[in-house]
Structure 1
Amino acid sequence: MSRSLLLEKPGSWRIVTTDLRDPGPGEVLVRVEAAGVCRTDRDLFEGGAGVDPRAYPLVPGHEWSGTVLHTGPGVDRGLVGVAVTGEVLRNCQVCDRCREGDTNLCTGAGGEFGFTEPGAFADRLVVPARLLHRIAPEADLAAAALLHPAAHAAAAVLRAGVRPGDRVAVVGAGTVGVLAIRLLAACSPARLVAVDPRESRAEPAVAAGAAALVAPGAAGEEFDVVIEAAGGSAGAHEAMLLTRRGGTLVLAGHPAGPGTPLAPGDLVARQLTVHAVAGANSAAWAHAVRAYNAGLLDLRALVTHELPLEEYGEAMRLLADPATGKILLRP
């Protein structure tokens, strides 16, 4: 049996107990240690723009960590008892995108945990073993649930190709931005600055390795590499203006609603190299997990609340407060 949170429709949820199927070929059964709550989960709760009404009912939860309890046929039994986290997209590993390494762009994906497949707002989760990443025994297993946004940050940093001595800025000092700053700090940039209008984000940004946090439009300098992780309507335009001629711009946020467009003429005149990041491929996941296991990522510092599964409604309320960091649900 398994307890899980069933979101029946926007704003309506309940805790249910169901029979849990055994892991099939290539799959494992995981005991969930913790599940992270993000803005996307709030969109599902509210039924916001872009949410397919056909998705309901569903069990949310795409950021998670746990311990392998059982293995299905064809899976190494040595995984039992191992601490793990896992990728969200059930990528096929055989389409052209997967073959080229862009597993996050899979064209034959079999589902997405927490969206089209039951997610981790539950005490048990069945997932393909090939999507797992091992967590070091000495690492904080609950905080490892935040390796999902860390992998997104790693994808942006890998795309940026920062070299020692580069001048780097990160626009947006939220979860992904702060994690990107921490990974960038390990690249030995000559200067690393966070750009965000919220003064409250200065402490986590500086703790992650930024020299300072400045308000949009107040940097007074240009940078070799700029990563946009704000997701706000004006973030991409601000990031472009901060990038020096011939520099590299990485767009990693997910803008909502209309904003200031990036004019092709500006990109051409500045001769910018522009990358976009949509989630994280398996290589970015491996990069983030390796950094976490080595003690280079302090994910625990991002957590402001830990709640039992039954307080999911409170978690949704807390997300409306800009001062709220990451929330972990503990089944």
Structure 2
Amino acid sequence: MSGDRAVLVERPGVHRLVTRPRPEPGPGEALVRVAAAGICLSDREVYEGRRAPGYARYPVVPGHEWSGTVEAVGAGVDPALLGRPCVGEGFRSCGFCERCRYGETSLCTAGYAETGFTEPGAFADRLLVPARLLHPLPEGADLRAAALLEPAAVVAAAVRAGRPRPGERIAVVGAGTLGLLAVQWLASASPAELAVVDPRAARAERALGFGATRALGPAEVRAAHGGFDLVVETAGAPTTAASSCLLARRGGRVVLTGMFAEGAAGIDPVHLSVSQLELRSVFGASSAAWADAVRAFAAGVLDPAPLVTHEFPLDRFAEALALVGGGDPAVGKVLLRP
């Protein structure tokens, strides 16, 4: 039996490219040949040992943003999946707890388990996943772009929580991968204004090509306080949760999607209560949000392809990882291509 290559992070700061036996799908499982896998800041957190306790398990093969083609299926799995291009949910929700029964699979109470963090991920030739988590894509789908459907599903969850309506004034805070995908998605909701807030002028200006109507730098933000019906925060920077609430009008809506670290600035409870803000947060994406993202991608509403700027083979993982979060405005989404 031929072997598969995988990037194994043995412990924080230590990795190697290993060859392992090719996985065989068991009952209810599917074996996917990986076409592309995205690297994000949370992968760097795993590598550097900065992931919150309980949200990573070593040794681990990272990779939670991926696309591929179903190569084999186990017992009980529809054989029609064979040869289908697909993406897959990362959370290994149980499907039986009360939250799962309500369709809130990202809130599963059975314990945290996620592909690429506690379960083997997609920085490998092949990936073994529960078939129930797969979302088939149309034949001929751009699998390079489809690797970004995981962050797109997070954006879909934020859009579901934010409930944009035509003619509203909307702000997106942060112009990274999540921010640009959010701009592209929210532009389809016909807002009266769609502003992007980012201190990095080059990134903020890039959002104009994704459907934003204006870019706000630090000098313009204060004048924009209280000016938006909906604010979607995507940056996860130390001050952006608090500053996003200041951008919303009284009675407005704020959705936090960025991953914050300990020590981030708190939200002023007086402002929150007096302004009667509706505040929601997003961590990952439910099955419904995944379905929204796949449908938007298939319909052409969402095109993540322009976000990809760099592609590397598995054996250049260290070089690829070093680009992520380095601050270079020329670096967008970085992919591994097994």
TM range (shorter): over 0.9
Question: d(CA) in 2 for partners of 1:285 and 1:75?
Answer: 20
Residue 181 of structure 1, CA deviation: 0.9
Question: Is 2:5–2:125's contact at 8 Å kept on the other side of the alignment?
Answer: yes
Give the 3 Å change call, closer, same or farther, for CA 57–327 of structure 1 in structure 2: same
Residue 49 of structure 1, CA deviation: 5.6
Residue 307 of structure 2: aligned partner:
302
1:89-104 pair list within 5 angstroms: 89-104=91-106
Residue 288 in structure 1 maps to residue 290 in structure 2: no
Residue 133 of structure 1, CA deviation: 0.8
Report the more deviating stretch, 79-88 or 244-253: 244-253
Query: In the alignment, residue 187 of structure 1 is paired with which amino acid?
Result: A
Residue 203 of structure 1, CA deviation: 3.6
Residue 4 of structure 1, CA deviation: 0.9
Give the 3 Å change call, closer, same or farther, for CA 252–322 of structure 1 in structure 2: same
Could you state the TM-score of these two structures normalised by the residue count of structure 1?
A: 0.96
Question: d(CA) in 2 for partners of 1:166 and 1:76?
Answer: 44
Question: Is 1:43–1:51's contact at 8 Å kept on the other side of the alignment?
Answer: no
Question: Is 1:44–1:51's contact at 8 Å kept on the other side of the alignment?
Answer: no
1:164-214 Cα distance to aligned partner (Å, 9 max, x none): 011100111111111111111111111110011001113431111101110
Question: d(CA) in 1 for partners of 2:281 and 2:60?
Answer: 29
1:57-112 Cα distance to aligned partner (Å, 9 max, x none): 11111111000011111111011000000000111111111111110111125731
Residue 268 of structure 2: aligned partner:
263
1:116-265 pair list within 5 angstroms: 116-216=118-218, 218-219=220-221, 220-221=223-224, 222-265=227-270
Query: In the alignment, residue 273 of structure 2 is paired with which amino acid?
Result: V
1:50-65 pair list within 5 angstroms: 50=52, 55-65=57-67
Question: Is 1:216–1:238's contact at 8 Å kept on the other side of the alignment?
Answer: no
Choose which of 263, 279, 283 in structure 2 pairs with 1:278. 283
Question: Is 1:89–1:109's contact at 8 Å kept on the other side of the alignment?
Answer: no
Question: d(CA) in 1 for partners of 2:36 and 2:51?
Answer: 28
Question: d(CA) in 2 for partners of 1:102 and 1:293?
Answer: 23
Question: d(CA) in 2 for partners of 1:85 and 1:249?
Answer: 29
Question: Is 1:87–1:132's contact at 8 Å kept on the other side of the alignment?
Answer: yes
Name structure 2 gaps, 5 residues minimum: none
Moved over 3 A (4+): 51-54
Question: Is 1:168–1:223's contact at 8 Å kept on the other side of the alignment?
Answer: yes
Report the more deviating stretch, 72-81 or 195-204: 195-204
Question: d(CA) in 2 for partners of 1:276 and 1:52?
Answer: 20
Residue 17 of structure 2: aligned partner:
15
Question: d(CA) in 2 for partners of 1:175 and 1:166?
Answer: 23
Question: d(CA) in 2 for partners of 1:266 and 1:189?
Answer: 25
Could you state the TM-score of these two structures normalised by the residue count of structure 2?
A: 0.94
Report the more deviating stretch, 102-111 or 172-181: 102-111
Q: Secondary structure of 1:117's match? A: coil
Question: Is 1:90–1:109's contact at 8 Å kept on the other side of the alignment?
Answer: no
Residue 33 of structure 1: aligned partner:
35
Give the 3 Å change call, closer, same or farther, for CA 284–52 of structure 1 in structure 2: closer
Question: d(CA) in 1 for partners of 2:159 and 2:146?
Answer: 19
1:94-134 Cα distance to aligned partner (Å, 9 max, x none): 11111111101111257311111111011011111110111
Question: d(CA) in 2 for partners of 1:114 and 1:53?
Answer: 10
Question: Is 2:230–2:254's contact at 8 Å kept on the other side of the alignment?
Answer: yes
Question: Is 2:100–2:107's contact at 8 Å kept on the other side of the alignment?
Answer: yes
Residue 40 of structure 1, CA deviation: 0.8
Count how many residue pairs are aligned between Structure 1 and Structure 2: 331
Q: Secondary structure of 1:158's match? A: helix
Question: Is 1:226–1:242's contact at 8 Å kept on the other side of the alignment?
Answer: yes
Residue 7 of structure 2: aligned partner:
5
Residue 261 of structure 1, CA deviation: 1.2
Residue 328 in structure 1 maps to residue 335 in structure 2: yes
Q: Secondary structure of 2:116's match? A: coil
Q: Secondary structure of 2:148's match? A: helix
Question: d(CA) in 1 for partners of 2:29 and 2:316?
Answer: 30
Question: d(CA) in 1 for partners of 2:321 and 2:294?
Answer: 27
Name structure 1 gaps, 5 residues minimum: none
Report the more deviating stretch, 44-53 or 98-107: 44-53
Q: Secondary structure of 2:114's match? A: coil
Question: d(CA) in 2 for partners of 1:68 and 1:113?
Answer: 17
RMSD: 1.6
Question: Is 1:135–1:141's contact at 8 Å kept on the other side of the alignment?
Answer: no
Question: Is 2:197–2:204's contact at 8 Å kept on the other side of the alignment?
Answer: no
Query: Percent of aligned positions with the same letter in both sequences?
Result: 53
Question: d(CA) in 2 for partners of 1:284 and 1:268?
Answer: 29
Query: In the alignment, residue 238 of structure 2 is paired with which amino acid?
Result: S
